Structure 1
Amino acid sequence: MSSLSIRALAIGLLLTSGLLAACTSTAKDVFKGVDRIVAAGDLHGDYDQYIKVLTTNGLVDEQLRWQGGKTHFVQLGDVVDRGPDSLRIIRHLMKLEKEAKKKGGRVHVLIGNHEAMNIQGDLRYVHPGEYSALISEGSDVLRDRYLEAVYKHQVSIDPTLAANPGPVMEGLKKKFPLGYVEHRSLWEPGQEIAKWVASHNAVIRINDSLFVHGGLSPHVEPQKLSKINRRVRSEISVRFDGEGLSNSQDGPLWYRGLASNEAEVELAPLLEMLKFYDVNRIFIAHTPTNGAILTRLDGTVIMIDVGISAHYGSSLANIVIEDGTLQVMHRGSQVPFPGDGLSIQAYLEMVSALEPLDSRLKKYVHSMDDQLAQEKEKMPQRAVN
């Protein structure tokens, strides 16, 4: 049975419950004169790490209420998947958005590829705990109704299945765990969480910087941010199975060229693109680093997906821009960003010293040190006169 047919059944079940609604929205995507920005990468269902980001940057009080004043907090997408607490994070972000706005601040939750995947029914990376968190007293009955509809559909395609329904139903139970139908009742286009996601942007500009989950390809003609955001929101607000910005490898949710292409390929067109948007740099997530925020392409690209979630090793770092000065909050300590006399190697040594002994970053920096030492040994020695 195709995933499209199964999805159609899920939508039919939700429609009979009167749960689907239309979703249209607009969102401001350019902000100027912001004194303090805090930006963090992928969270992937790790609530505890998410809270650490908020508390170490002074954004919430002991009751987890907004205390960041006029700070703009940017979460660059991929709140969901790979961890069990995505919905818990989303519920808190919903609350925090309202609280921050009342205090003159903002919470910007950008759309990531995993949010789009959940809305469009690609559930390969949904953590089992996400389904478990949605189980209630009525889950058994709700799932039985759904399984019965799926079973009848399969039998209509292959009548021989009716001769031995037991194994078929057992297979369906494994494929659609308790909580699955509730998950779809939140994430189908027009549903509560899908609608909330689609009320946000894929890319925003704050002061002299762009923020986006995957990246903006400099190899395609640049478009106004408002046009990009409208297209992405439009695509994830309905059932969308075609090729578009929300699922293209060159689109803002998926593009990895800024994180991986060589400067010979990427830098010149990137500089032209930044000029078009009248910004100096672009912050991206999506592509995990070895545990530290990194810069590339002459400082025009800053990679901030350090692998915050347990799935990627529980690293902890985010960007802080205060009065135009770019710094890194690394495991609760604010350190200068490389540049202006601070080399990448010195920066990595500095943040590595803040890491636990078994961290990915510490191992990475040690391997870099070993490599440099080996290269030094291979260098010809100058004769001493």
Structure 2
Amino acid sequence: MKRTIFALYGATLLTFATQASADTPNQQASVATLNDGPYLFDSNSGQQNAQWICAGKLKQTAVANKRLTRPNHCGELPEPMLNPQATEVLADSYQGVDKIVALSDVHGQYEVLIKLLRSNKIIDQDNNWAFGKGHMVMTGDMFDRGPQVNEVLWFMYRLDRQAKAAGGQLHLLMGNHEQMVMRGDLRYVNDKYQTASTLLNRQYQELYGKDSELGQWLRSKHTIVKINDTLFLHGGISQEWVDRELTLDRANRLYRENIDKTKPELKQDELLNFLFFGNGPTWYRGYFKPDFDTQELANILNYFKVKRIVVGHTSQTRVLGLFDNRVIAVDSSIKLGQSGELLLIEKNKLIRGQYDGTQTPL
């Protein structure tokens, strides 16, 4: 499939320049130092080009041999190799996996993510996959809040290819913030990206639309996966899921098929309203409420035939086990940009991987 970037028209650039001239000096300075990209979109033309923002200016480079090469004076923006299998929809259940690592809610904090993965030897010093045949689960919320969302996405895009090549697997699960961005709910988008979308002449959600490389990749991903005896997702499974007798396959398919619908459209359908909001898997916080009924948890574990559920979404200061580790919370507040933790499961041992690489039993 061929990809290109749509150039901005001179009038658009003139309009932005006129607006920028009225900004305060600090606002102008922030635009002048802005680096972002690359962004790649489908086109019917034969030429493939990537679009970048370098020091506040729009630049374009050709894609050669599926490699994106950043322009000069563009900081350390990603130079990804395109993956022809990026949009393959994988299985949502796995058995016989020897080691698993899980984390959540990165929210654009690329530097913290890299340090955490390096210190726990999930990636090497060059940020390449070093986890062998292991499976890595990111339980959602890469978008919003932080200033390096695009860097996080391209990094995960590369790990996706490298993990598979090594016999492992990356499971990139959709969280509520991925869903919010896809449908144009931009309340939590970092100011940097509001400026970038103006320069790129696209609404922010369109930078990850169905015609974009990253958007197509994201739309192929599941919301829930089961690995060995553990269920992974962003928010949590409620009793309502069990009452509705939903399956992983059906739910994941409905998420993929409907992720671009607006909030009013989703709310018109009873099942989609449940899946995308309220007690649905990407928003549910019931496990963390003082009146949570543990019999409900037993019903859920029995329904999925698992020993535990791993979730993000509800922030903690560390990886935390609840109900005798039958629920494990992996949102360790990476979004604050200071530190974070991850969960390791090796031969049924549950381990906290800390920011400095120290590993302790959960």
Matched, 1:205 2:226: yes
Distance in 1 (CA, whole Å) between partners of 2:125 and 2:89 is: 33
Q: Which of the residues 119, 144, 154 maps onto 1:56?
A: 119
1:186 to 207, 212, 215: 207
Q: Which has the larger radius of gyration?
A: 1
Aligned-pair distance for 1:237? 4.5
Q: CA deviation at 1:190?
A: 5.0
Q: Percent identity at matched positions? A: 34
Matched residue, 1:224: 247
8 Å CA contact retained: 1:83, 1:129: no
1:179–1:84 CA distance, 2 compared to 1 (3 A): farther
CA distance in 2, matches of 1:117, 1:278: 31
Q: In structure 1, what is the Cα distance between the partners aligned to 2:156 and 2:237?
A: 25
C-alpha displacement at 1:182, in angstroms? 5.9
**1:110 maps to amino acid:** L
Distance 1:250 1:80 in 2: 21
In 2, the alpha carbon distance for the partners of 1:277 and 1:247 equals 20
The answer to whether the Cα contact below 8 Å between 2:116 and 2:354 also exists between their aligned partners in 1 is no
Is 2:100–2:136's contact at 8 Å kept on the other side of the alignment? yes
Aligned AA for 1:324?
Answer: N
Match of residue 242, structure 1, among 260, 266, 276: 266
What's 1:300 paired with? 326
Measure the CA separation in 1 of the matches of 2:88 and 2:128. 26
Deviations 1:187-243 (A, max 9, x none): 234543332222111111111100000111123424211111111111115556322
1:100 is paired with a residue whose SS is helix
Distance 1:131 1:258 in 2: 35
Query: Alpha-carbon deviations, 1:103-158, whole Å to 9, x = none?
Result: 011111100100000000000000012344x47xxxxxxxxxxxxxxxxxxxxxxx
Larger helix fraction of residues:
1
CA contact (8 A) 1:194 1:237 kept: no
More strand by share: 2
Give the whole-Å Cα distance in 2 for the aligned partners of 1:320 and 1:270: 22
- Residue of structure 1 aligned with 2:304, choices 270, 274, 277: 277
| Residue 85 of structure 1 pairs with residue 108 of structure 2 | no
Q: C-alpha deviations, 1:239-261, integer Å up to 9, x for none?
A: 56322255211111111112225
Match of 1:215 in 2: 236
Distance 2:118 2:229 in 1: 26
**What count of residue pairs does the alignment treat as equivalent?**
272
* Map 1:9-48 → 2, pairs under 5 A: 26-48=89-111
Residue in structure 2 matching 1:256, options 281, 285, 299: 285
What amino acid sits opposite 1:321 in the alignment?
I
TM-score (norm 2): 0.70
Could you tell me which runs of 5 or more consecutive residues in structure 1 were left unpaired when the two chains were aligned.
Answer: 1-16, 136-176, 338-385
Aligned-residue Cα RMSD (Å) equals 2.4
Gaps of 5+ in 2: 1-40, 45-86
CA deviations on 1:280-306 (whole Å, 9 max, x unpaired) are 1100100101x1111223431111101
1:336 aligns with 2:361: yes
Q: Give the alignment's TM-score, normalised by structure 1.
A: 0.66
In structure 2, the residue corresponding to 1:200 is in which secondary structure? coil
Q: Give yes or no for the alignment of 1:315 onto 2:339.
A: yes
- Partner deviation per Cα, 1:151-193 (whole Å, 9 max, x = no partner): xxxxxxxxxxxxxxxxxxxxxxxxxx44461633322345433
Deviations 1:75-112 (A, max 9, x none): 11000100011111101111110111010111111001
- Contact 1:235–1:246 (CA<8 Å) still a contact in 2? no
User: Which of structure 1's runs of 4+ aligned residues deviate more than 6 A?
Assistant: 17-20
